[in-house]
Structure 1
Amino acid sequence: MERLFNLDPQLIHDTVLLAIAVLIMFTLLSYLLFNPVRDMLKKRQERIKADIDEAQKDKEDALRLKEDYDARIRNIEKEAEEILSDARKKALKNEAKILEEAKEEAARIITRANAQIELEKKKAADDMKKEIIAVASMMAAKAVTNSMSPEIQDALMEETLKEIGDQTWQS
């Protein structure tokens, strides 16, 4: 046999067998190892893509919920402002009502006080009349007992007024 590229035929034979064995082994390992690894990587890639899609969907849902929450907060703030406004109006109405009632009560108190003053004036006038009547009765009693002349009457009147004293007329 002739040598190919100055190589020994045994070496060429071993090289060819080795190449066939490597090819068979590569094919066999491809089915046994590479394909399962490729499938595992493909499944992992699909799972990662599904996780990314789910995360994107969750993010969109979160944004939607945040917008809904913000809208509700604005509505709650408006409702709170309306409630406070209504409460202020009611408080002002109550204040006006209480002031009106207080004014009416003050007017009633003033009316009663004026009526009481009038009663006190009448009582004082009645008391004064009684005192005058008592003085007149004392003078009449002395006049009757002493049938007297005008000088005696004037003296008796002066004497009676002195007996009654200034305290009686000033009270």
Structure 2
Amino acid sequence: MSSAVGMYMQTAVVAAAQTAEETERLFGLDYQTLFDTAFTMVNVLILYVFLKYVLFIPVRKLLEERKKRLDDQNARAAADTAEAQKLKAEYEQRILEAGREADNILGESRREMIKKEQEVLDDAKTRAADIMSAARSEASKDFEAAQSSVRDEVKDIASAMAARVTNQKVDRPVDDALLNEALKEAGGRV
């Protein structure tokens, strides 16, 4: 029993010591808790430094490189767009110039066509005038020849009639003089 009482006492002393120790600690802080807290802080700091160099810096570099690539692509796209706009403007200008040139060529072709048409018409008029002049000249010659032929026939007929009426032969100079006088009286028509 004495050993049981001794144990009980010993347990009570340990409990009392623990209670006294607990009352001495402020907010339950003791050396072990402070050590654990400091150890945890150092581990967090080491973990932060480790993650910074292993994870944060490479990820930041990766993000910066990606941003730089995107900026470069955007700049190239803007430059390509500007170049495309410039080429489009040049293309439209060339189309306008080609349209003007085509209009000029068509206008020149029309003027040349009108000029050639006028030349052909003038040439045709000249040829027609020449043909008409030649035809008039030929008609005039034919008319004079026909008139002369008709006069000669009228003279022959008049001479033959005068010879029958007078029963004499009329000589040629007298016959011509009589015919010319008759023509003058008739107004020159045969």
- Per the normalisation by structure 2, the TM-score is 0.58
> Structure 1: 5+ residue runs without aligned partners?
144-148, 152-171
* Structure with greater Cα Rg: 2
CA distance in 2, matches of 1:12, 1:61: 68
Work out the percentage of aligned pairs sharing the same amino acid. 34
Q: Is residue 16 of structure 1 aligned with residue 33 of structure 2? A: no
- Per the normalisation by structure 1, the TM-score is 0.63
Q: Which residue of 2 aligns with 1:85?
A: 107
Q: Which residue of 1 aligns with 2:10?
A: none
Q: Which amino acid aligns with 1:78?
A: R
Query: Which aligned pairs between 1:15-164 and structure 2 lie closer than 5 A?
Result: 15-122=37-144, 124-125=146-147, 128=150
Give the aligned length.
145
Instruction: Choose between structure 1 and 2 for higher RCO, CA contacts under 8 A separated by at least 6 residues.
Output: 1
**1:38 to partner: Cα distance:** 0.7
Shifted more, 101-110 versus 82-91: the winner is 82-91
Q: Which amino acid aligns with 2:97?
A: N
Offset from partner CA, 1:128-164 (integer Å, 9 cap, x none): 467568868988xxx7xxxxx859xxxxxxxxxxxxx
CA distance in 2, matches of 1:3, 1:113: 152
CA distance in 1, matches of 2:87, 2:26: 79
Shifted more, 106-115 versus 83-92: the winner is 83-92
> Structure 2: 5+ residue runs without aligned partners?
1-20, 168-190
Give RMSD over aligned pairs: 3.4
CA distance in 1, matches of 2:96, 2:25: 94
